[in-house]
Amino acid sequence: MHRALTRFVLEPSDLITAGLLVFLFTLSWIVSLPWLCRFWLRIFTAGIHALGLNARVGVREHFATSYIRFMVPFPRMNGASPSPQTWWITAITVAALYGATYLLPKKFTPVTYLARAVLFIQATALAYFLIAPGRFPHTPDSYMEGMVTYGIALILIVPSLFGLTYFIFRFRLARKAALTAMTMAHLAIFFPLQMLLQAVVLEKSILFMPVLYIVFGFPVDVMIILGFYSWGMSWPSEAQNEM
């Protein structure tokens, strides 16, 4: 019988195990932040050089505790407002893609609405830069610094998320620890690469910053976490092994 249809009894040992795992992984992440930031610094430095970006690596000092200090690296770059050519090319592309969504068959209806939502976000950016091009409140520097800080915070809460939704189930302790470690390690490697790809786009124009943030930022990272969680939930539990 599928675990969703079985009666679930949460025992004190499950809560204790979940709490200990959350504490250990959270503490390990906080303690490792200085080494992580140095690792990201090397990735950003190598990536900027390999991609030929007109950028440099900036750092900002943060404190996890009064004893743990770390320097958060981020790509520092100048933002260019969209030129008339960039604005018109983007506007024509958005209009053409929107029209193309009506040609998709009905079985692709979810894809159609998703594509239209993404195009709507870009359309609002086009309207904003048409009406008030000089009033955009964000720069690539502030955006990149905020996103890198957010990435550290997101990975920090992964153990707590799994503690509430995965550790309470009767999987083997090694599997719980392995799933958490793999998720956090994957995000730790993926996130700086994600930021470098966004830097490539932002170097062209800040016109694309809203869609990068709303569509290709936080949602992508959350989907990675959900993907690992779904994979872990597909593993046989101790109860299933006993049957």
For 41-106, give the secondary structure using H, E and C. HHHHHHHHHHHCCCEEEEEEEEECCCCCEEEEEEEEECCCCCCHHHHHHHHHHHHHHHHHHHHCCH
Domain that holds residue 105: 84-131
- Would you say how long the chain is, in residues? 243
pLDDT at 186: 97
pLDDT at 238: 62
pLDDT at 70: 81
Boundary-marking domain end, from 62, 96, 131: 131
Sole residue written with tokens 């018109």: 88
The answer as to whether 119 is a domain residue is: yes
Q: Total structural domains in the chain?
A: 2
pLDDT at 134: 74
Check residue 5 and report its DSSP letter.
G
The answer as to whether 19 is a domain residue is: yes
The answer as to whether 4 is a domain residue is: no
Question: Quick one: 96 and 60 in the same domain?
Answer: no
Question: Quick one: 116 and 31 in the same domain?
Answer: no
Phi then psi for 7, rounded to 5 degrees?
A: -80, 130
Question: Quick one: 88 and 154 in the same domain?
Answer: no
Question: Quick one: 36 and 146 in the same domain?
Answer: yes
The answer as to whether 232 is a domain residue is: yes
> What's the CA gap between 95 and 28, in Å, rounded?
48
Question: Quick one: 101 and 221 in the same domain?
Answer: no
- pTM given for the model: 0.86
Question: Quick one: 92 and 105 in the same domain?
Answer: yes
pLDDT tens by residue, 174-193 = 999 999 999 999 999 999 99
Question: Quick one: 110 and 213 in the same domain?
Answer: no
> 107: part of which helix (H) or strand (E)?
none
Question: Quick one: 97 and 197 in the same domain?
Answer: no
Q: What parts of the chain have a pLDDT lower than 70?
A: 1-10, 64-66, 238-243
Question: Quick one: 106 and 154 in the same domain?
Answer: no
pLDDT at 25: 95
